[in-house]
Amino acid sequence: MLKSDEDRERKAEHQMPGTYHVVANPSSFAGLEEYQDNNSGSKLHSKSRTTRIHRRRSSSANEPSSTTGQDVYEDPETLILGTFEDNARRPPILGLLTTNLSKSPTSSLTSQSPGAGFAQSAHSISRSTETSPVLGSAVQSRADQDIVSFYQQFVRVQLDQVHRDSLGTSSQSGALTFPEVLDKHVDSFPPLYHALMAFSALSMAYSQGLQDLNALQHYSKALPYLHSSLRSSQDLSSDGALLTHFVLLLYEIAAAEPRGSNLWSQHLSQLLRILTLRHDLYGMESYSFVVWWVFSIDTHSVLTGSGSGDFVMTMLANNRMSSLSMECQASNLSFSDSSSDHPGPCVLEFHRRILVLAARMGLLARELRQKVAQGYGRQTQATLADITQRRQRVEQLRDRLRRTWKSHAANFDAMGYSNKTVPIHSRGILEHTYALYHACIIYSHTSMWPHQRLDSGPQNMQELSQSVTRILQLGLEITSHGFIERKFMVFPLFMAGIATINPSDHQQVIRLLIAFENKSIGKVMVATRQILEIVYEKQREVMMLGGNPLMVDWIDTVAERGLQMIDARL
Protein backbone atom coordinates (compact mmCIF):
# COMPACT_ATOMS: atom_id res chain seq x y z
CA MET A 1 0.00 0.00 0.00
CA LEU A 2 1.32 3.43 -0.96
CA LYS A 3 0.71 5.51 2.16
CA SER A 4 2.12 8.85 1.08
CA ASP A 5 3.33 10.95 -1.82
CA GLU A 6 6.89 10.02 -0.84
CA ASP A 7 6.05 6.32 -1.28
CA ARG A 8 4.56 7.05 -4.66
CA GLU A 9 7.64 8.97 -5.82
CA ARG A 10 10.01 6.25 -4.60
CA LYS A 11 8.02 3.65 -6.50
CA ALA A 12 8.03 5.82 -9.64
CA GLU A 13 11.83 6.04 -9.48
CA HIS A 14 12.33 2.26 -9.33
CA GLN A 15 9.44 0.78 -11.32
CA MET A 16 8.09 1.18 -14.82
CA PRO A 17 4.84 3.17 -15.18
CA GLY A 18 1.80 0.96 -14.88
CA THR A 19 -1.98 0.95 -14.63
CA TYR A 20 -3.43 1.91 -11.26
CA HIS A 21 -6.83 1.40 -9.66
CA VAL A 22 -8.21 4.57 -8.12
CA VAL A 23 -10.97 4.27 -5.53
CA ALA A 24 -13.10 7.38 -4.95
CA ASN A 25 -15.22 7.41 -1.80
CA PRO A 26 -18.25 9.68 -1.34
CA SER A 27 -16.08 11.74 0.97
CA SER A 28 -13.65 12.23 -1.89
CA PHE A 29 -16.08 14.76 -3.35
CA ALA A 30 -16.99 16.45 -0.10
CA GLY A 31 -14.56 19.27 -0.69
CA LEU A 32 -16.25 20.43 -3.90
CA GLU A 33 -18.57 23.39 -3.60
CA GLU A 34 -21.55 21.61 -5.11
CA TYR A 35 -21.30 18.83 -2.47
CA GLN A 36 -21.08 20.91 0.69
CA ASP A 37 -23.34 23.24 2.68
CA ASN A 38 -22.58 26.90 3.05
CA ASN A 39 -21.90 26.46 6.78
CA SER A 40 -19.96 23.21 6.69
CA GLY A 41 -17.16 21.52 4.86
CA SER A 42 -14.90 24.55 4.66
CA LYS A 43 -12.35 22.94 6.89
CA LEU A 44 -12.46 19.73 4.88
CA HIS A 45 -12.22 21.73 1.66
CA SER A 46 -9.13 23.55 2.90
CA LYS A 47 -7.51 20.35 4.01
CA SER A 48 -8.26 18.58 0.73
CA ARG A 49 -6.07 20.98 -1.22
CA THR A 50 -2.88 19.92 0.52
CA THR A 51 -2.28 16.93 -1.76
CA ARG A 52 -3.84 15.05 -4.65
CA ILE A 53 -3.70 11.63 -3.04
CA HIS A 54 -4.05 11.71 0.71
CA ARG A 55 -2.39 9.52 3.19
CA ARG A 56 -4.63 6.75 4.38
CA ARG A 57 -6.82 8.17 7.11
CA SER A 58 -6.81 6.46 10.47
CA SER A 59 -10.51 7.04 10.92
CA SER A 60 -12.53 3.96 10.05
CA ALA A 61 -15.37 6.16 8.87
CA ASN A 62 -13.52 6.86 5.65
CA GLU A 63 -12.41 3.29 4.92
CA PRO A 64 -14.19 0.98 2.50
CA SER A 65 -16.25 -1.89 3.77
CA SER A 66 -14.37 -4.62 5.57
CA THR A 67 -14.36 -7.28 2.89
CA THR A 68 -13.50 -5.24 -0.14
CA GLY A 69 -11.38 -2.84 1.82
CA GLN A 70 -8.94 -5.51 2.94
CA ASP A 71 -8.51 -6.74 -0.64
CA VAL A 72 -7.95 -3.23 -1.89
CA TYR A 73 -5.32 -2.39 0.69
CA GLU A 74 -3.32 -5.52 -0.04
CA ASP A 75 -3.03 -4.55 -3.71
CA PRO A 76 0.11 -2.37 -4.18
CA GLU A 77 -1.33 -0.99 -7.41
CA THR A 78 -4.39 0.48 -5.71
CA LEU A 79 -4.60 4.06 -4.49
CA ILE A 80 -7.32 5.50 -2.28
CA LEU A 81 -8.35 8.89 -3.61
CA GLY A 82 -8.99 10.95 -0.52
CA THR A 83 -10.05 14.04 -2.45
CA PHE A 84 -11.37 14.63 -5.94
CA GLU A 85 -10.14 17.96 -7.32
CA ASP A 86 -11.99 19.84 -9.99
CA ASN A 87 -9.85 20.16 -13.14
CA ALA A 88 -11.49 23.47 -13.97
CA ARG A 89 -9.88 25.03 -10.91
CA ARG A 90 -6.33 23.91 -11.65
CA PRO A 91 -3.68 26.47 -12.57
CA PRO A 92 -2.45 26.64 -16.19
CA ILE A 93 -0.63 23.57 -17.47
CA LEU A 94 2.69 25.13 -18.31
CA GLY A 95 2.93 28.43 -16.56
CA LEU A 96 6.13 27.03 -15.10
CA LEU A 97 7.72 26.95 -18.55
CA THR A 98 7.78 30.74 -18.69
CA THR A 99 11.00 31.98 -17.18
CA ASN A 100 13.38 34.89 -17.50
CA LEU A 101 16.43 33.40 -19.16
CA SER A 102 19.74 35.17 -19.41
CA LYS A 103 20.65 36.62 -22.78
CA SER A 104 21.81 34.15 -25.38
CA PRO A 105 25.55 33.79 -25.97
CA THR A 106 25.12 35.69 -29.22
CA SER A 107 24.30 38.84 -27.32
CA SER A 108 27.13 38.52 -24.79
CA LEU A 109 30.16 37.72 -26.90
CA THR A 110 32.39 40.21 -25.18
CA SER A 111 31.13 39.82 -21.62
CA GLN A 112 31.29 36.17 -20.66
CA SER A 113 31.61 32.68 -21.99
CA PRO A 114 28.42 30.79 -22.92
CA GLY A 115 29.23 28.21 -20.28
CA ALA A 116 29.09 30.80 -17.54
CA GLY A 117 25.86 32.28 -18.85
CA PHE A 118 24.27 28.86 -19.12
CA ALA A 119 25.23 27.95 -15.58
CA GLN A 120 23.88 31.23 -14.28
CA SER A 121 20.55 30.85 -16.06
CA ALA A 122 20.27 27.23 -14.96
CA HIS A 123 20.81 28.27 -11.34
CA SER A 124 18.17 30.98 -11.50
CA ILE A 125 15.71 28.65 -13.18
CA SER A 126 16.29 25.98 -10.57
CA ARG A 127 15.49 28.42 -7.78
CA SER A 128 12.36 29.66 -9.53
CA THR A 129 10.92 26.20 -10.14
CA GLU A 130 11.53 25.09 -6.58
CA THR A 131 9.21 27.79 -5.32
CA SER A 132 6.71 27.67 -8.17
CA PRO A 133 3.16 27.05 -6.89
CA VAL A 134 2.29 25.50 -10.24
CA LEU A 135 4.65 22.56 -9.85
CA GLY A 136 2.49 20.81 -7.29
CA SER A 137 -0.57 20.66 -9.50
CA ALA A 138 0.69 20.90 -13.07
CA VAL A 139 3.45 18.31 -12.91
CA GLN A 140 1.94 14.89 -12.36
CA SER A 141 5.14 12.94 -11.71
CA ARG A 142 8.76 13.33 -10.75
CA ALA A 143 9.67 12.42 -14.34
CA ASP A 144 7.61 15.30 -15.74
CA GLN A 145 9.18 17.70 -13.27
CA ASP A 146 12.62 16.65 -14.48
CA ILE A 147 11.53 17.12 -18.10
CA VAL A 148 10.26 20.63 -17.42
CA SER A 149 13.50 21.52 -15.66
CA PHE A 150 15.52 20.15 -18.58
CA TYR A 151 13.41 22.16 -21.01
CA GLN A 152 14.05 25.36 -19.11
CA GLN A 153 17.77 24.81 -18.65
CA PHE A 154 18.69 23.33 -22.03
CA VAL A 155 16.05 22.90 -24.76
CA ARG A 156 14.71 26.42 -24.46
CA VAL A 157 18.23 27.85 -24.73
CA GLN A 158 18.91 25.87 -27.92
CA LEU A 159 15.62 26.91 -29.55
CA ASP A 160 16.30 30.52 -28.65
CA GLN A 161 19.78 30.34 -30.17
CA VAL A 162 18.53 28.97 -33.50
CA HIS A 163 15.98 31.75 -33.68
CA ARG A 164 18.50 34.49 -33.01
CA ASP A 165 21.08 33.11 -35.45
CA SER A 166 18.84 32.90 -38.50
CA LEU A 167 15.15 33.59 -38.02
CA GLY A 168 14.56 37.10 -36.79
CA THR A 169 11.09 37.84 -35.41
CA SER A 170 7.55 37.55 -36.68
CA SER A 171 5.45 40.52 -37.71
CA GLN A 172 2.76 39.98 -35.09
CA SER A 173 4.78 38.79 -32.13
CA GLY A 174 7.25 41.66 -32.38
CA ALA A 175 10.43 40.74 -30.55
CA LEU A 176 9.19 37.35 -29.31
CA THR A 177 11.49 34.43 -30.00
CA PHE A 178 10.24 30.92 -30.68
CA PRO A 179 10.36 29.81 -27.01
CA GLU A 180 8.43 32.93 -26.03
CA VAL A 181 5.79 32.15 -28.65
CA LEU A 182 5.52 28.64 -27.20
CA ASP A 183 5.01 30.15 -23.74
CA LYS A 184 2.21 32.25 -25.16
CA HIS A 185 0.21 29.29 -26.50
CA VAL A 186 1.16 26.22 -24.50
CA ASP A 187 -1.21 26.87 -21.58
CA SER A 188 -4.27 27.01 -23.80
CA PHE A 189 -3.43 24.15 -26.18
CA PRO A 190 -2.75 20.75 -24.51
CA PRO A 191 -1.43 19.05 -27.71
CA LEU A 192 1.38 21.62 -27.82
CA TYR A 193 2.19 20.89 -24.18
CA HIS A 194 2.57 17.16 -24.83
CA ALA A 195 4.54 17.74 -28.05
CA LEU A 196 6.95 20.03 -26.23
CA MET A 197 7.28 17.61 -23.32
CA ALA A 198 7.94 14.75 -25.76
CA PHE A 199 10.64 16.74 -27.55
CA SER A 200 12.27 17.75 -24.27
CA ALA A 201 12.07 14.21 -22.85
CA LEU A 202 13.69 12.82 -26.00
CA SER A 203 16.54 15.31 -25.70
CA MET A 204 16.99 14.56 -22.01
CA ALA A 205 17.02 10.80 -22.61
CA TYR A 206 19.58 11.20 -25.38
CA SER A 207 21.85 13.39 -23.27
CA GLN A 208 21.72 10.87 -20.41
CA GLY A 209 22.02 7.75 -22.57
CA LEU A 210 18.64 6.42 -21.42
CA GLN A 211 15.55 5.06 -23.13
CA ASP A 212 13.03 7.67 -24.19
CA LEU A 213 9.95 6.11 -22.56
CA ASN A 214 8.67 9.42 -21.21
CA ALA A 215 9.06 10.96 -24.66
CA LEU A 216 6.98 8.20 -26.22
CA GLN A 217 4.28 8.59 -23.58
CA HIS A 218 3.88 12.30 -24.24
CA TYR A 219 4.14 11.80 -28.01
CA SER A 220 1.35 9.21 -27.86
CA LYS A 221 -0.83 11.80 -26.11
CA ALA A 222 -0.01 14.72 -28.41
CA LEU A 223 -1.54 13.28 -31.59
CA PRO A 224 -4.88 12.12 -30.07
CA TYR A 225 -5.24 15.47 -28.31
CA LEU A 226 -4.45 17.23 -31.57
CA HIS A 227 -6.92 15.20 -33.63
CA SER A 228 -9.70 15.68 -31.09
CA SER A 229 -9.15 19.44 -31.10
CA LEU A 230 -9.38 19.78 -34.89
CA ARG A 231 -13.05 19.92 -35.83
CA SER A 232 -12.95 22.40 -38.70
CA SER A 233 -10.62 24.16 -41.09
CA GLN A 234 -10.59 27.05 -38.64
CA ASP A 235 -9.14 24.73 -35.99
CA LEU A 236 -6.54 23.40 -38.43
CA SER A 237 -5.41 26.93 -39.20
CA SER A 238 -4.95 27.85 -35.53
CA ASP A 239 -1.63 28.91 -34.05
CA GLY A 240 -1.74 25.92 -31.71
CA ALA A 241 -2.04 23.41 -34.57
CA LEU A 242 0.81 25.09 -36.47
CA LEU A 243 3.15 25.15 -33.49
CA THR A 244 2.27 21.60 -32.41
CA HIS A 245 3.03 20.11 -35.82
CA PHE A 246 6.27 22.07 -35.96
CA VAL A 247 7.43 20.79 -32.56
CA LEU A 248 6.48 17.25 -33.64
CA LEU A 249 8.56 17.79 -36.79
CA LEU A 250 11.55 18.69 -34.63
CA TYR A 251 10.86 15.61 -32.51
CA GLU A 252 10.82 13.26 -35.52
CA ILE A 253 14.02 14.77 -36.90
CA ALA A 254 15.78 14.35 -33.56
CA ALA A 255 14.51 10.77 -33.22
CA ALA A 256 15.25 9.68 -36.81
CA GLU A 257 17.01 6.31 -37.03
CA PRO A 258 19.11 4.86 -39.90
CA ARG A 259 16.81 2.93 -42.23
CA GLY A 260 13.92 4.10 -40.08
CA SER A 261 10.64 5.62 -41.16
CA ASN A 262 10.74 9.26 -42.15
CA LEU A 263 7.73 10.45 -40.18
CA TRP A 264 9.26 13.91 -40.25
CA SER A 265 8.24 14.17 -43.92
CA GLN A 266 4.60 13.60 -42.94
CA HIS A 267 4.74 16.54 -40.57
CA LEU A 268 6.32 18.60 -43.35
CA SER A 269 3.36 17.77 -45.58
CA GLN A 270 0.90 18.65 -42.83
CA LEU A 271 2.69 21.93 -42.15
CA LEU A 272 2.48 22.79 -45.84
CA ARG A 273 -1.26 22.15 -45.73
CA ILE A 274 -1.71 24.27 -42.59
CA LEU A 275 0.39 27.15 -43.91
CA THR A 276 -1.47 27.12 -47.23
CA LEU A 277 -4.79 27.26 -45.39
CA ARG A 278 -3.57 30.10 -43.16
CA HIS A 279 -2.39 31.99 -46.23
CA ASP A 280 -5.79 31.59 -47.91
CA LEU A 281 -7.66 32.66 -44.76
CA TYR A 282 -5.47 35.43 -43.38
CA GLY A 283 -3.09 36.50 -46.14
CA MET A 284 -0.11 37.54 -44.02
CA GLU A 285 1.52 34.83 -41.87
CA SER A 286 1.80 36.04 -38.30
CA TYR A 287 4.57 33.58 -37.43
CA SER A 288 6.71 33.85 -40.54
CA PHE A 289 9.80 32.64 -38.67
CA VAL A 290 8.19 29.17 -38.48
CA VAL A 291 7.84 29.17 -42.26
CA TRP A 292 11.49 30.11 -42.71
CA TRP A 293 12.64 27.47 -40.24
CA VAL A 294 10.63 24.75 -42.00
CA PHE A 295 11.89 26.06 -45.34
CA SER A 296 15.47 25.77 -44.09
CA ILE A 297 14.89 22.21 -42.85
CA ASP A 298 13.46 21.10 -46.19
CA THR A 299 16.23 22.90 -48.06
CA HIS A 300 18.85 20.87 -46.22
CA SER A 301 16.85 17.66 -46.67
CA VAL A 302 16.79 18.08 -50.45
CA LEU A 303 20.46 19.12 -50.56
CA THR A 304 21.42 15.88 -48.78
CA GLY A 305 19.05 13.71 -50.81
CA SER A 306 17.05 12.81 -47.69
CA GLY A 307 13.85 14.57 -48.77
CA SER A 308 11.84 15.29 -51.88
CA GLY A 309 11.84 19.05 -51.44
CA ASP A 310 8.07 19.29 -51.94
CA PHE A 311 7.74 22.01 -49.30
CA VAL A 312 10.36 24.34 -50.79
CA MET A 313 9.19 23.57 -54.33
CA THR A 314 5.60 24.53 -53.51
CA MET A 315 6.58 27.65 -51.59
CA LEU A 316 8.88 28.86 -54.37
CA ALA A 317 6.45 27.97 -57.17
CA ASN A 318 3.72 30.06 -55.52
CA ASN A 319 6.13 32.92 -54.79
CA ARG A 320 5.31 32.56 -51.11
CA MET A 321 8.82 33.17 -49.80
CA SER A 322 9.09 36.50 -51.58
CA SER A 323 5.87 37.68 -49.94
CA LEU A 324 7.27 36.64 -46.55
CA SER A 325 10.54 38.50 -46.99
CA MET A 326 10.98 41.76 -45.15
CA GLU A 327 11.16 44.85 -47.30
CA CYS A 328 14.42 46.71 -46.83
CA GLN A 329 14.16 50.45 -47.02
CA ALA A 330 17.18 52.47 -48.07
CA SER A 331 17.47 53.92 -44.60
CA ASN A 332 17.79 50.47 -43.03
CA LEU A 333 20.60 49.02 -45.12
CA SER A 334 23.45 49.53 -42.67
CA PHE A 335 25.03 46.41 -41.19
CA SER A 336 26.56 48.45 -38.41
CA ASP A 337 23.32 49.85 -37.00
CA SER A 338 23.47 48.97 -33.31
CA SER A 339 20.43 50.93 -32.18
CA SER A 340 18.37 47.77 -31.75
CA ASP A 341 18.85 44.52 -29.89
CA HIS A 342 17.53 42.65 -32.92
CA PRO A 343 18.97 42.27 -36.41
CA GLY A 344 17.86 44.80 -38.97
CA PRO A 345 15.61 43.67 -41.80
CA CYS A 346 18.35 43.87 -44.41
CA VAL A 347 20.48 41.36 -42.50
CA LEU A 348 17.59 38.91 -42.46
CA GLU A 349 16.86 39.64 -46.10
CA PHE A 350 20.50 38.90 -46.96
CA HIS A 351 20.33 35.56 -45.18
CA ARG A 352 17.01 34.64 -46.74
CA ARG A 353 18.18 35.40 -50.27
CA ILE A 354 21.11 33.02 -49.82
CA LEU A 355 18.79 30.40 -48.29
CA VAL A 356 16.37 30.61 -51.23
CA LEU A 357 19.26 30.13 -53.66
CA ALA A 358 20.40 27.13 -51.59
CA ALA A 359 16.90 25.68 -51.97
CA ARG A 360 16.97 26.23 -55.72
CA MET A 361 20.36 24.55 -55.85
CA GLY A 362 19.01 21.52 -54.01
CA LEU A 363 16.03 21.26 -56.37
CA LEU A 364 18.29 21.57 -59.42
CA ALA A 365 20.60 18.87 -58.05
CA ARG A 366 17.59 16.60 -57.50
CA GLU A 367 16.48 17.13 -61.10
CA LEU A 368 19.95 16.53 -62.57
CA ARG A 369 20.50 13.40 -60.48
CA GLN A 370 17.16 11.99 -61.59
CA LYS A 371 18.10 12.54 -65.24
CA VAL A 372 21.46 10.84 -64.72
CA ALA A 373 19.74 7.91 -63.00
CA GLN A 374 17.28 7.59 -65.88
CA GLY A 375 20.21 7.51 -68.29
CA TYR A 376 21.83 4.72 -66.27
CA GLY A 377 18.54 2.83 -66.37
CA ARG A 378 18.47 3.03 -70.16
CA GLN A 379 22.18 2.19 -70.21
CA THR A 380 22.94 5.28 -72.26
CA GLN A 381 25.97 7.50 -71.90
CA ALA A 382 25.54 11.22 -71.38
CA THR A 383 26.47 13.13 -74.48
CA LEU A 384 28.81 16.09 -74.50
CA ALA A 385 25.78 18.30 -75.08
CA ASP A 386 24.11 16.89 -71.96
CA ILE A 387 27.18 17.55 -69.83
CA THR A 388 27.54 21.06 -71.27
CA GLN A 389 23.90 21.85 -70.53
CA ARG A 390 24.30 20.64 -66.95
CA ARG A 391 27.35 22.80 -66.44
CA GLN A 392 25.63 25.85 -67.88
CA ARG A 393 22.59 25.52 -65.62
CA VAL A 394 24.75 25.07 -62.55
CA GLU A 395 27.02 27.96 -63.51
CA GLN A 396 24.02 30.26 -63.98
CA LEU A 397 22.78 29.48 -60.49
CA ARG A 398 26.27 29.76 -59.02
CA ASP A 399 26.68 33.15 -60.68
CA ARG A 400 23.41 34.34 -59.08
CA LEU A 401 24.77 33.17 -55.76
CA ARG A 402 28.03 35.10 -56.23
CA ARG A 403 26.25 38.28 -57.31
CA THR A 404 23.85 38.12 -54.37
CA TRP A 405 26.73 37.68 -51.98
CA LYS A 406 28.81 40.52 -53.41
CA SER A 407 25.93 43.00 -53.54
CA HIS A 408 24.94 42.41 -49.90
CA ALA A 409 28.36 41.82 -48.36
CA ALA A 410 29.88 45.11 -49.48
CA ASN A 411 29.31 46.65 -46.04
CA PHE A 412 31.73 44.41 -44.16
CA ASP A 413 35.19 43.12 -44.93
CA ALA A 414 35.52 39.90 -42.98
CA MET A 415 33.57 37.61 -40.71
CA GLY A 416 34.70 36.99 -37.16
CA TYR A 417 34.63 38.39 -33.69
CA SER A 418 37.36 40.94 -34.37
CA ASN A 419 35.14 42.78 -36.86
CA LYS A 420 33.82 45.69 -34.78
CA THR A 421 31.66 47.01 -37.62
CA VAL A 422 29.27 44.07 -37.27
CA PRO A 423 26.93 44.55 -34.29
CA ILE A 424 26.67 41.65 -31.88
CA HIS A 425 22.97 41.13 -32.49
CA SER A 426 23.59 40.61 -36.24
CA ARG A 427 26.81 38.61 -36.03
CA GLY A 428 25.19 35.18 -35.68
CA ILE A 429 23.00 35.70 -38.73
CA LEU A 430 25.90 37.02 -40.80
CA GLU A 431 28.14 34.13 -39.82
CA HIS A 432 25.36 31.71 -40.69
CA THR A 433 24.94 33.39 -44.08
CA TYR A 434 28.70 33.39 -44.67
CA ALA A 435 29.00 29.68 -43.89
CA LEU A 436 25.93 28.73 -45.96
CA TYR A 437 27.18 30.72 -48.95
CA HIS A 438 30.52 28.92 -49.02
CA ALA A 439 28.80 25.57 -48.43
CA CYS A 440 26.67 26.25 -51.51
CA ILE A 441 29.73 27.15 -53.57
CA ILE A 442 31.29 23.82 -52.59
CA TYR A 443 28.04 21.98 -53.27
CA SER A 444 27.73 23.51 -56.74
CA HIS A 445 31.20 22.21 -57.66
CA THR A 446 30.91 18.74 -56.10
CA SER A 447 27.39 17.42 -55.56
CA MET A 448 25.01 18.46 -58.34
CA TRP A 449 25.20 15.04 -60.01
CA PRO A 450 27.12 11.80 -59.36
CA HIS A 451 30.88 12.02 -59.95
CA GLN A 452 30.64 15.74 -60.77
CA ARG A 453 34.20 16.30 -59.55
CA LEU A 454 35.47 14.04 -62.33
CA ASP A 455 33.75 16.28 -64.90
CA SER A 456 35.09 19.53 -63.44
CA GLY A 457 38.12 21.33 -64.75
CA PRO A 458 41.05 22.79 -62.78
CA GLN A 459 39.60 26.29 -63.08
CA ASN A 460 37.12 25.45 -60.32
CA MET A 461 39.72 24.26 -57.83
CA GLN A 462 40.75 27.70 -56.59
CA GLU A 463 37.22 28.78 -55.65
CA LEU A 464 36.57 25.37 -54.11
CA SER A 465 39.75 25.50 -52.04
CA GLN A 466 39.02 29.05 -50.83
CA SER A 467 35.56 28.09 -49.62
CA VAL A 468 36.92 25.07 -47.74
CA THR A 469 39.55 27.25 -46.04
CA ARG A 470 37.06 29.93 -45.02
CA ILE A 471 34.61 27.45 -43.54
CA LEU A 472 37.36 25.77 -41.52
CA GLN A 473 38.61 29.15 -40.29
CA LEU A 474 35.15 30.20 -39.15
CA GLY A 475 34.55 26.82 -37.50
CA LEU A 476 37.81 27.11 -35.57
CA GLU A 477 37.05 30.67 -34.50
CA ILE A 478 33.56 29.79 -33.26
CA THR A 479 34.67 26.70 -31.32
CA SER A 480 37.70 28.48 -29.86
CA HIS A 481 35.30 30.98 -28.30
CA GLY A 482 33.15 28.14 -26.99
CA PHE A 483 30.07 28.97 -29.06
CA ILE A 484 29.24 25.35 -29.89
CA GLU A 485 25.53 26.13 -29.76
CA ARG A 486 25.87 27.60 -33.28
CA LYS A 487 24.86 24.40 -35.02
CA PHE A 488 24.46 26.16 -38.36
CA MET A 489 28.16 25.36 -38.88
CA VAL A 490 27.57 21.61 -39.11
CA PHE A 491 26.38 21.38 -42.74
CA PRO A 492 29.07 23.79 -44.05
CA LEU A 493 31.74 21.81 -42.18
CA PHE A 494 30.35 18.62 -43.67
CA MET A 495 30.59 20.08 -47.18
CA ALA A 496 34.15 21.29 -46.49
CA GLY A 497 35.01 17.76 -45.38
CA ILE A 498 33.49 16.34 -48.57
CA ALA A 499 35.41 18.74 -50.80
CA THR A 500 38.91 18.47 -49.35
CA ILE A 501 41.21 15.54 -50.11
CA ASN A 502 43.77 16.60 -47.49
CA PRO A 503 43.93 14.03 -44.63
CA SER A 504 44.79 16.73 -42.08
CA ASP A 505 41.71 18.70 -43.15
CA HIS A 506 39.67 15.52 -42.72
CA GLN A 507 40.86 15.19 -39.14
CA GLN A 508 40.20 18.84 -38.41
CA VAL A 509 36.63 18.65 -39.76
CA ILE A 510 35.91 15.57 -37.65
CA ARG A 511 37.25 17.30 -34.52
CA LEU A 512 35.09 20.35 -35.16
CA LEU A 513 31.98 18.26 -35.76
CA ILE A 514 32.58 16.39 -32.51
CA ALA A 515 32.79 19.75 -30.72
CA PHE A 516 29.41 20.80 -32.12
CA GLU A 517 27.88 17.50 -30.98
CA ASN A 518 28.05 18.80 -27.42
CA LYS A 519 24.74 20.24 -26.24
CA SER A 520 22.94 18.91 -29.32
CA ILE A 521 19.36 17.68 -29.32
CA GLY A 522 18.82 14.18 -30.67
CA LYS A 523 21.01 12.19 -33.03
CA VAL A 524 21.33 14.51 -36.03
CA MET A 525 24.77 15.94 -35.25
CA VAL A 526 26.30 12.55 -34.47
CA ALA A 527 24.72 11.05 -37.60
CA THR A 528 26.23 13.80 -39.76
CA ARG A 529 29.73 13.12 -38.47
CA GLN A 530 29.27 9.36 -38.85
CA ILE A 531 28.16 9.78 -42.47
CA LEU A 532 31.32 11.76 -43.20
CA GLU A 533 33.43 9.04 -41.58
CA ILE A 534 31.70 6.42 -43.74
CA VAL A 535 32.51 8.46 -46.85
CA TYR A 536 36.15 8.74 -45.78
CA GLU A 537 36.36 5.00 -45.19
CA LYS A 538 34.87 4.32 -48.61
CA GLN A 539 37.36 6.72 -50.22
CA ARG A 540 40.24 4.89 -48.54
CA GLU A 541 38.95 1.57 -49.85
CA VAL A 542 38.78 2.97 -53.39
CA MET A 543 42.34 4.32 -53.10
CA MET A 544 43.64 0.96 -51.88
CA LEU A 545 42.21 -0.59 -55.03
CA GLY A 546 43.98 2.00 -57.17
CA GLY A 547 40.90 4.10 -57.88
CA ASN A 548 40.16 7.81 -57.61
CA PRO A 549 38.60 8.78 -54.24
CA LEU A 550 36.59 11.46 -56.04
CA MET A 551 34.54 8.62 -57.53
CA VAL A 552 32.82 8.20 -54.16
CA ASP A 553 29.52 10.09 -54.25
CA TRP A 554 28.39 10.99 -50.75
CA ILE A 555 24.70 11.43 -51.62
CA ASP A 556 24.58 7.97 -53.19
CA THR A 557 26.36 6.59 -50.12
CA VAL A 558 23.72 8.11 -47.83
CA ALA A 559 20.94 6.59 -49.95
CA GLU A 560 22.58 3.16 -50.29
CA ARG A 561 22.94 2.77 -46.53
CA GLY A 562 19.47 4.05 -45.74
CA LEU A 563 20.87 6.97 -43.76
CA GLN A 564 19.08 10.24 -43.12
CA MET A 565 20.73 13.62 -42.84
CA ILE A 566 18.30 16.37 -41.89
CA ASP A 567 19.65 19.57 -40.40
CA ALA A 568 17.35 21.44 -38.01
CA ARG A 569 20.38 23.18 -36.42
CA LEU A 570 19.71 21.49 -33.08
Give exposure, 246-264, as e/b (b: 16+ Cβ within 10 Å): bbbbbbbbbbbeeeeebeb
CA-to-CA dists, residue 75 to 72, 80, 551, angstroms: 5, 11, 67
Residue 297 and residue 174 share a domain: yes
Task: For residue range 474-495, list pLDDT tens digits in order.
Answer: 999 999 988 888 899 999 999 9
Which pLDDT band, with edges at 50, 70 and 90, does 173 fall under?
Answer: very low
Return the pLDDT at 455: 74
Q: Which of 161-170, 305-314, 376-385 has the lowest mean pLDDT?
A: 376-385
Residue 491 and residue 506 share a domain: yes
Residue 287 and residue 202 share a domain: yes
Residue 457 and residue 340 share a domain: yes
Task: For residue range 13-41, list pLDDT tens digits in order.
Answer: 555 555 555 565 555 555 554 445 444 44
Residue 441 and residue 421 share a domain: yes
Range of the domain at 24: 5-89
The last residue of one of the domains, among 48, 67, 89, is 89
Return the pLDDT at 303: 96
Report yes or no on 63 lying in a domain: yes
The last residue of one of the domains, among 264, 296, 320, is 320
For 409, phi and psi rounded to 5 degrees?
-95, 10
Task: For residue range 342-397, list pLDDT tens digits in order.
Answer: 444 577 888 899 999 999 999 999 999 998 888 765 556 667 788 888 899 999 99
Residue 353 and residue 371 share a domain: yes
Task: For residue range 43-73, list pLDDT tens digits in order.
Answer: 434 444 444 334 444 444 444 444 444 444 4
Residue 376 and residue 445 share a domain: yes
Residue 383 and residue 263 share a domain: no
Residue 145 and residue 80 share a domain: no
Q: Is the Cα torsion angle 370, 375, 381, 387 positive or negative in sign?
A: negative
Which candidate, 370, 360, 371, places its Cα nearest to that of 394? Answer: 360
Residue 290 and residue 335 share a domain: no
Could you give the CA distance from residue 274 to residue 281 in angstroms, rounded to a whole number? 11
Residue 362 and residue 280 share a domain: no
Residue 65: exposed, middle, or buried by beta-carbon count in 10 A (0-12, 13-18, 19+)? exposed
Residue 236 and residue 383 share a domain: no
Q: Is the pTM of this model over 0.75?
A: no
Could you give the CA distance from residue 316 to residue 310 in angstroms, rounded to a whole number? 10
Interacting residues of 425 by C-beta distance below 8 A, sequence separation 6+? 106, 107, 164, 338, 340, 341, 342, 343
The last residue of one of the domains, among 305, 320, 335, is 320
